[in-house]
Amino acid sequence: MIPMVDLKNQYQRLKAEIDAELAGVLESTHFILGPNVQAFEQEAAEYLGVKHAIGCASGTDALHLALRAAGIGPGDEVITPAFTFIATAEAIRYVGATPVFVDIRPDTFNLDADQVAAAISERTRALLPVHLFGQPADMPALMALAEKHDLKVIEDCAQSFGADIDGRMTGGIGLAGCHSFFPSKNLGAYGDGGMVTTNDDALAEHLRSLRNHGSKVRYHHDEIGYNSRLDEMQAAILRVKLRHIDEFNQGRRRAAHAYSEALKDVVTPPVEDGLGTHVYHQYTLLSERRDDIQKALQAADIACAIYYPIPLHQQKVFADECAGLSLPVTEDVSRRCLSLPIFPELADAQIETIVSTIHQVFV
């Protein structure tokens, strides 16, 4: 059996470090907003080259809190892709705003800046690009549009921890970056966790209050906030893993490049547009014979997955605002995409097995 991601393997490698840190948290009995969260926020901010990092309960909450802190609300439109995980658009709905789904580029699967420009209306207040599968979206073009139309840019970095454009990390380019530490993400905790990054002092202060019941001073509440904190156990684990993130991402890139070299004659491998560094949260190929490949892998006990089989504009929950909306590239890609197992520890022998199973489909 080859899984999509092998968390056991990674835990075994880091067990001594992680177990020692967890024991320390248990001994301290300081579980919420303690020294590990503070240290992790500082270390993550330093790694990402941003002024502020604010831990919260999940990537979904990071998006929700960032949109709220940015003042996005009812009547506002937020432009975002339909080819992403539901959480991206859920967060827009949480604040009462309307997601406006725009088509993607056929090569990178990220927002198409020309389509974004065409979708900007009087009511557009923000852009919410996703750095999908670990490849940075076209931030230079999107930031230029935002500047011209006075829009806020919130980056969905749930899949792109450690990806950069010319040395600027994703999450440090727009007004805010929203990160997820779901266990299978590039920087994964052992439970739920998330974080917002920003260079804006006022936004950071607001986010710290929002995640903790709208309170800046204990038992003084200035607004209705949330219980959305990163906990000490997760922060302790993340501090250990952050020290290895570059090595993790290099491992993912190595595996991806091996796949692409071996598969380029039979499928369309993922395209690196050269704008930034792709950290391969997913390795997602395109093929007309996607379903045949999926069947062959399943028969060989190799995991694979379709991210995403139903684009958001075709989901029942968005039926009202998306009636009659057609996004041809998104629809085509969701019909042909297939994600293969990818994780830093994926062995050459495993890659070999997967590749030869796929080649069998084409003989």
Ligand X SMILES: *Cc1c(COP(=O)(O)O)cnc(C)c1O
For the four alpha carbons of 143, 145, 151 and 153, in that order, the dihedral sign comes to negative
Kindly indicate which of the ranges 64-72, 83-91, 97-105, 226-234 contains the residues binding ligand X, using the contact rule CB under 6 A: 83-91
Alpha-carbon distance of 321 to 312, in angstroms, equals: 11
Alpha-carbon distance of 312 to 324, in angstroms, equals: 13
Q: What angle do CA 351, 338, 308 make, to 5 degrees?
A: 140
Kindly indicate which of the ranges 6-14, 31-39, 79-87, 325-333 contains the residues binding ligand X, using the contact rule CB under 6 A: 79-87
Alpha-carbon distance of 12 to 343, in angstroms, equals: 14
Question: Which residue, 85 or 283, is less far from ligand X as judged by CB?
Answer: 85
124 part of the interface to ligand X, by CB under 6 A: no
CB atoms closer than 10 angstroms to residue 41? 20
Question: Which residue, 313 or 351, is less far from ligand X as judged by CB?
Answer: 313
58 part of the interface to ligand X, by CB under 6 A: yes
Q: Tell me which DSSP letter residue 314 carries.
A: G
Alpha-carbon distance of 59 to 353, in angstroms, equals: 34
159 part of the interface to ligand X, by CB under 6 A: yes
176 part of the interface to ligand X, by CB under 6 A: no
| Residue from 134, 172, 194, 251 in contact with ligand X (CB under 6 A) | 194
| Residue from 130, 137, 165, 236 in contact with ligand X (CB under 6 A) | 130
Alpha-carbon dihedral angle through residues 337, 340, 344, 348, given to the nearest 10 degrees:
-130
Alpha-carbon distance of 218 to 222, in angstroms, equals: 11
Kindly indicate which of the ranges 52-60, 145-153, 260-268, 285-293 contains the residues binding ligand X, using the contact rule CB under 6 A: 52-60
108 part of the interface to ligand X, by CB under 6 A: no
| Residue from 170, 180, 249, 330 in contact with ligand X (CB under 6 A) | 180
Kindly indicate which of the ranges 39-47, 53-61, 240-248, 344-352 contains the residues binding ligand X, using the contact rule CB under 6 A: 53-61
User: Applying CB under 6 A, which residues contact ligand X?
Assistant: 58-60, 84-85, 87-88, 130, 156, 158-159, 180, 182, 192, 194
